Copies of this chain bind each other. A is one copy, B any other.
């Protein structure tokens, strides 16, 4: 590929030099010639900023201007675009993002928390100045799913978006499946291997997946981004015994983020967004998504079901997404961050899903004494829950505790909730029951 370029370089300021920031520099160095050919101009870092200037990051930073105050990068005359890789939903990242857009500079970010919380306000800033706000790297690492929904499936009314959006949870669940180990042990291993953070709560409580889901739902459904309405259940209560029972039934357990739109009672559309561990049939493509891999399914009214799968995190894949956004900007392919201008996004109220029909896996740990099974099944009957299959199993030596697992026939979600309410406080239950939906085909 040639070297001469008529167009001036795209001059980049890079805030945040963690693994992803360094990954971006490495990518720009490694793939320089082909990036110039594809972008039609050179992608050139001119300034960087991070907390610690002296730290050795394994790349040559001396060739870039250094800013101690990252916000200053938003005002540099020699900068065409700002890349924010600092992280955190508020604070310095948000401040930099606002300043960059207000100065009329395009912004590229990998910051899902910031976009989930402030994406609409930032998009309004960007749209007012007709500059790009791009965040491919915020969702599903190297998988171009923001672009996929924003442009690839743009011709479709999207009926449902769902997928595996958190690599840490998926690593833990597939490791539990593989080894039979319990949650706490696998989490500890994952932390040692770097697949889970020292404070893993955002991941294992489902918050990270919820950030990403809210972003995808806004783009896919043309809905006003509404992170606060995402219903979130993490994976901390999934036990090795649940995975073993699911396996017997032909399922694996995965943390599934899902959003869809339905006609509400008043006639207007409502948006349901939730993140829950689900039983996924071994016949479903998502059941084979193992380890830190991510996958997203989008169902369009003309495209049918589309699956995007790949590495959901890591410096290489995330850098790949950041630089794809930079290429779009170099090519002058801007456009509304959420596909539709913010002012025209639909403020869809959240769906109350009690009427939704689904099948549910229920697990109880109960005292080993007569009458307990009758008590549980009576509660099911009284709440109108129809049981399809049931397994009762002693828990080894202890003898005092028994596991009862069942799968319901399809029925309204609220019936299962009612049944569990009837059993609340019962001294037959030795711990709180677990209810997991079965992912529909």
Contacts and interface: CB of A to CB of B under 8 A. Distances in A.
A309 to B, nearest CB: 4
Query: Residue among A143, A302, A305, A308 with the most chain B CB within 10 A?
Result: A302
A163 to B, nearest CB: 12
A351 interface: no
Interface in A291-345: 300-311, 314, 316-317, 319-324, 326-328, 331, 333, 335-336, 339-341, 344
Contact of A311 (B136, B148, B305, B322): B305
A346 B40 CA distance: 15
Contacts of A288: 285, 288
Query: Residue among A142, A319, A333, A336 with the most chain B CB within 10 A?
Result: A142
A179 interface: no
Interface in A1-24: 1-2, 23
A222 interface: yes
Query: Residue among A2, A156, A285, A306 with the most chain B CB within 10 A?
Result: A156
A154 B335 CA distance: 18
Contact of A30 (B148, B301, B307, B331): B301
Nearest to A283: B288
Contacts of A321: 155, 303
A23 B300 CA distance: 14
> Taking chain A's interface residues, is the majority helix, strand, or loop, or is none over half, making it mixed?
mixed
A152 interface: yes
A300 B320 contact: yes
A37 interface: yes
Contact of A308 (B307, B317, B323): B307
A321 to B, nearest CB: 8
A222 B38 contact: yes
Q: How large is the interface on A (under 10, 10 to 19, 20 to 34, 35 or more residues)?
A: 35 or more
Contact of A319 (B27, B155, B308, B317): B155
A339 B38 contact: yes
A158 to B, nearest CB: 9
Contacts of A37: 222, 340, 344
Contacts of A304: 142, 310-311, 314, 316-317
A174 interface: no
A54 interface: no
Contacts of A166: none
Contacts of A142: 300, 302-304, 306
29 contacts: A1-B346, A30-B301, A31-B156, A31-B157, A31-B301, A37-B340, A37-B344, A38-B339, A38-B340, A142-B302, A144-B151, A147-B148, A147-B151, A148-B148, A151-B151, A151-B324, A151-B327, A154-B324, A155-B321, A285-B285, A300-B320, A302-B316, A303-B316, A303-B317, A304-B310, A304-B317, A305-B311, A307-B307, A308-B308
Interface of A: 1-2, 23, 27, 30-31, 34-35, 37-40, 136, 142-144, 147-148, 151-157, 222, 285, 288, 300-311, 314, 316-317, 319-324, 326-328, 331, 333, 335-336, 339-341, 344, 346
8 A-B pairs with the lowest CB-CB distances in the bound complex, closest first: A144-B152, A155-B323, A142-B303, A303-B320, A306-B310, A307-B309, A302-B320, A302-B316
